[in-house]
Amino acid sequence: MQGWLGGAYLWVLSAHVIFVIFWIAGLFALGRYLVYQRETAPGSEAEALWGRRTGVLRRMILNPSMFLVWGLGLALALNLGLAGQGWLHAKILIVLLLSGWHGWAVATSKTLGRGERPYSDKRLRILNEAPAFAVILVVILVIVRPF
């Protein structure tokens, strides 16, 4: 399936998978960071430490990986062709929702850093599972291609 990427197709696909792994690992960590940050006392040194950890995670892993996933993924999608690829449309929708979760989690960390606690521990623990469900759906879509 070379398309316009030619001989670079497998390299682009490999890079895409690598950065998907980095991004998802970062999202799993970010979800846990939110739970830990929520458990700290507002204004405490521990809260500030979790805020700094989240910032480093965002700058070093999450944001670069997400942008590379999108760029490489769109190149692969255009190489494949979008017509008649229902599984690909569904995958793109899930990745778009996952990108929104990424933005929500970063914003929530900043909110927690200001000492606000808009979500309970239980709610954060439940929301922490969203990336896992997204990964399950995407893998099924890519491997099985049900439609």
List binding-site positions: 16, 91
Selection from 79, 77, 61, 80 nearest residue 20 by Cα: 61
What's the distance, CA 121 to chain centroid? 21
| Contact (CB, 8 A) for 81 and 1 | no
The owner of tokens 């200001």 is: 114
d(CA 29, CA 26): 5
For residue 64, is it left (φ>0), alpha (ψ between -120 and 50) or beta?
alpha
2-25 exposure pattern, b = at least 16 Cβ within 10 A, e = fewer:
eeebeeebeebbebbeebbebbbe
User: Which residue numbers belong to the known binding site for heme?
Assistant: 16, 91
- For residue 68, the one-letter residue type is L
